[in-house]
Amino acid sequence: MSTSQVVFIKTLYHNYHITVYEFMRMGSNHNIFKALQDAGAKYYEFIGSNDQRVMFIFGLKKKPIEHYDGKVICYEKNNTFTGRFEKIKGIIDKCDDGKGVLTELGLTELHLISMADDEKAVTDILKECEGNKEKLRELLLKEDHRKATALHYACERGAIKVATRMLSTVKEDWNLSKELIMKEDDGKGTAFHYACKSGATEIVAIMLDVFKEHEDMMKELILKQDNNWHNVCSNELTGFQYACSNNATEVVKLLVDTVKEDTDMFNRMMLKEDGEKRTAFYIACECGSTEAVKFLIETIKGDTDMLKEMVLKEDVFHYIAFQRACAEGHNEVVMVLFHAVKDNRQLLKDLLFKNHEIYRATALHYACEAGCTQVAREILYSLRH
């Protein structure tokens, strides 16, 4: 892992091979997870919000990267953050060893194996439950301290082999399959949310296949929102919105293909708003998910009304996707949006001259502020013609 992906700022706490780091996230969670596995971490989780996080690590054999000794980046730690950090620190302090910490955190062997994507190990554990439905159910639905199951962990880390094994074991039991996939953690996130977020297309496909004979439940699964205050973008996101946020284009395509024959469901999925009134398209633009943005635009090609709805939709802070992409400096996304509307003069005009309700700024203001020279040049060129 290079420092362009993640920078460790300082060690906040250390005891029994357990370390709590403050760090600044510069890359995808998947890259961070892999680096931690390579460093020998047995368990890890994130605490915090947006790009400045704290990470709790157990069993780290070596440093993922060298510590950064520069200026410590300070940020407000809200009550939820403080509570979670103090809970973990309290558990560490009262235990005699690392094994005791894992027990107190509710982490089973299956949770830990799921992080490592060890198919043989998980197969051996599941075999112990053969012929005993209640024992299997108890094992798979066992919660840790944040109410997450082993399947949550497997999906979060993109552990395809382990997740596939768990889901295939219960495929003949519709009720248990449904319960396992739809089970919520303490942020109301399901395994489906995590699989979409990590871009685990194979896992998402298996889950959709489980629900294919149950149309209403399929819709509930796809439209279900979490309530995770510390996730990457916001809260109340669907799996589709998570996939768009992380540029998981194959998952985005899979979900679109699943609902495209049902116009009402397609529109509901595309226009579903999160806690900040952002659609999946808006989130993709804000997060710089260029390929996802291209695909979504291609998906609605020829539907001028839908295109207008998507590009001019305001979030709760009165920004439209084009303005937000300009403000974030996502040049490629901005150019994709620009070329998608340039032949529709009225829509282009609406896009370029849209004033922020409070700041009265246009996309050109935001492009200039972010130093997006190419975008500013294209906007000015279009105004001349």
CA distance 376 to 327: 12
Q: Is 317 helix (H, G, I), strand (E, B) or coil?
A: coil
Asked whether the predicted pLDDT for residue 6 surpasses 80, the reply is no
How many other C-beta atoms lie within 10 A of the C-beta of residue 10?
13
Please name the helix (run of DSSP H) or strand (run of DSSP E) that holds residue 111, with its range, or none: helix 109-116
Give residue for tokens 């250390």: 14
Asked whether the predicted pLDDT for residue 383 surpasses 80, the reply is no
Burial label, 147 (beta-carbon count in 10 A; 0-12, 13-18, 19+): middle
CA distance 49 to 26: 13
Res. 115 pLDDT band, cuts 50 70 90: confident
Mean pLDDT of the chain: 79
What's the gap between Cα 267 and its chain centre?
22
Asked whether the predicted pLDDT for residue 249 surpasses 90, the reply is yes
Three-state SS string across 213-262, please? CCHHHHHHHHHCCCCCCCCCCCCCCCHHHHHHHCCCHHHHHHHHHHHCCC
Nearest to 145 by CA among 90, 197, 196: 90
User: Do residues 255 and 269 make contact, with C-beta atoms less than 8 angstroms apart?
Assistant: yes
Q: What is the mean pLDDT of residues 295-314?
A: 92
Highest mean pLDDT among 161-165, 330-334, 354-358, 372-376: 161-165
Name the token pair of 138.
């108890």
Tens digits of per-residue pLDDT, 24-79? Answer: 544 455 555 666 666 566 566 665 544 445 555 555 444 443 333 332 222 333 44
Q: What is the mean pLDDT of residues 260-270?
A: 96
Domain parsing of the chain, residue ranges: 6-103, 107-275, 276-385
Res. 375 pLDDT band, cuts 50 70 90: confident
276-385 shares the fold of 107-275? yes
The correct answer on CATH 3.30.70.120 for the domain covering 107-275 is no
Q: What is the pLDDT of residue 376?
A: 78
User: Half-sphere exposure of 151 toward its Cβ, with a 13 Å CA cutoff?
Assistant: 35
Angle between the N-to-C axes of helices 109-116 and 160-169, in degrees from 0 to 180, rounded to the nearest 10: 130
Tens digits of per-residue pLDDT, 132-166? Answer: 999 999 999 999 888 999 999 999 888 899 999 99
Place domain 276-385 in its CATH homologous superfamily: Ankyrin repeat-containing domain (1.25.40.20)
Name the token pair of 294.
């291209």
Name the token pair of 201.
């297309």
